[in-house]
């Protein structure tokens, strides 16, 4: 079974995807980490984030087994990821790796922005996870404060809105629900409730029910 979980920054898609993968015993790929890896290396190697040739080279050479999760979880890496993700050569370089992951025997869970539209359009279940920008900013702000990073709520909200706009309006593989994706709005759901709703969505076709 292939499950895709797409949605905007801090919507809860990553946590849901990890929980679904554990529940169904499937491997999980956080595709955002790949773009974060490219953005992070571009900065570390002193390239401009607007240099498409350098970005494509870095993406081509990316070794997913060497990604340092901690360094890639910062907001700076997320912002850099969002910028390099709009470069067609970067997306092309990362495509096969993601498709191969999705097509492995037994299936997989992938989360990102275009996993249901571009990477695995034939996925068995597609979730599109959303939450209001204000709620997503509250969650991200809480996370940053817990990690000891200094950030104001207003600044986090502005960053989230900017990232939404860039991810949704780019011409290549923009953030948008696949026509057959099921929308899951987590604005008023805690993680347990969101997880139960996600399981319902995955199980609905198997139980012969229509999806909620
Ligand atoms: O999910 P995330 O916040 O880790 O993603 C970081 C950025 O990477 C996001 O702003 C856009 C880009 N991205 C993408 O373009 N396509 C994906 N499948 C995943 C992430």
DSSP state of 122: T
DSSP type of residue 181: P
Residue nearest atom 10 in ligand 1 by C-alpha distance = 82
- Give the Å distance between the CA of 23 and the centre of ligand 1: 24
Q: Which pLDDT score is estimated for 212?
A: 56
By most ligand atoms within 8 Å of CB, the mutation choice from 29, 35, 41, 92 for ligand 1 is 35
CATH of the domain at 142: 3.40.50.300
42 C-alpha to ligand 1 centroid (Å) = 16
Residue 209 lies in a domain: no
Beta strand segments in 123-207, E:
125-130, 182-185
Closest CA to 182 of 119, 107, 136, 123: 123
Mean pLDDT by 10 residues, the chain (212 residues): 96 96 98 97 96 98 89 88 96 98 97 97 98 96 87 93 91 92 96 97 78 55
Distance 19 CA to ligand 1 centre (A): 19
Q: Would 212 be classed as within a structural domain?
A: no
Domain annotation covers residue 211: no
CA 202 to chain CA centroid, nearest Å = 19
The pLDDT of residue 93 is 98
Q: How far apart are CA 105 and CA 207, in angstroms?
A: 23
Asked if residue 210 is part of any domain, the answer here is: no
The token duo for 157 is 């909200």
**CA gap 135, 138 in Å, rounded:** 5
Domain assignment present for residue 38? The answer is yes
pTM for the full predicted model? 0.94
Give 140-146's long-range contacts (Cβ < 8 A, gap of 24+): 140/9, 140/10, 140/75, 143/10, 144/75
Question: How many residues comprise the chain?
Answer: 212
Residue bearing the CA closest to ligand 1, atom 4: 32
Q: In angstroms, what is the span from residue 207 Cα to ligand 1's centroid?
A: 32
3-class secondary structure, 125: strand
Distance 150 CA to ligand 1 centre (A): 23
In a domain, 146, yes or no: yes
Name residues contacting ligand 1 (CB within 6 A): 9, 31-32, 35-36, 78, 81-82, 85, 112-115, 163, 167
Instruction: Classify residue 18: in a domain, yes or no.
Output: yes
Q: Which atom of ligand 1 is nearest to the CA of 114?
A: 18
Sheet with 2-6, edge to edge strand ranges: 28-30, 108-112, 2-6, 125-130, 182-185
Q: Quote the domain boundaries for residue 169.
A: 2-204
The reply to whether 108 falls in a domain is yes
Q: Rounded to the nearest whole angstrom, what is the distance from the C-alpha of residue 132 to the centroid of ligand 1?
A: 18
Number of domains in the chain: 1
């Amino acid at each position: 079974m292939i499950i895709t979980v797409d949605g905007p920054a801090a919507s809860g898609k990553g946590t849901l995807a990890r929980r679904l993968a554990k529940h169904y015993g499937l491997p999980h790929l956080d595709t955002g980490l790949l773009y974060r890896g490219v953005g992070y290396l571009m900065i570390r190697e002193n390239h401009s984030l607007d240099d498409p040739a350098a970005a494509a080279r870095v993406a081509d050479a990316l070794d997913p087994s060497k990604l340092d999760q901690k360094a890639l979880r910062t907001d700076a890496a997320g912002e850099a990821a969002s910028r390099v993700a709009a470069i067609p050569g970067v997306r092309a370089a990362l495509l096969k790796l993601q498709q191969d992951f999705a097509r492995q025997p037994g299936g997989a869970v992938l989360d990102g922005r275009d996993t249901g539209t571009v990477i695995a359009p034939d996925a068995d279940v597609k979730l599109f996870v959303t939450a209001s920008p204000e709620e997503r900013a509250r969650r991200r702000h809480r996370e940053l404060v817990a990690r000891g990073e200094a950030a104001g709520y207003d600044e986090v909200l502005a960053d989230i809105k900017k990232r939404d706009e860039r991810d949704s309006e780019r011409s290549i593989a923009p953030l948008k629900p696949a026509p057959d994706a099921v929308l899951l709005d987590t604005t008023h759901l805690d993680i347990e409730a969101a997880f139960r709703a996600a399981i319902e969505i995955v199980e609905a076709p198997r139980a012969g029910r229509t999806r909620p």
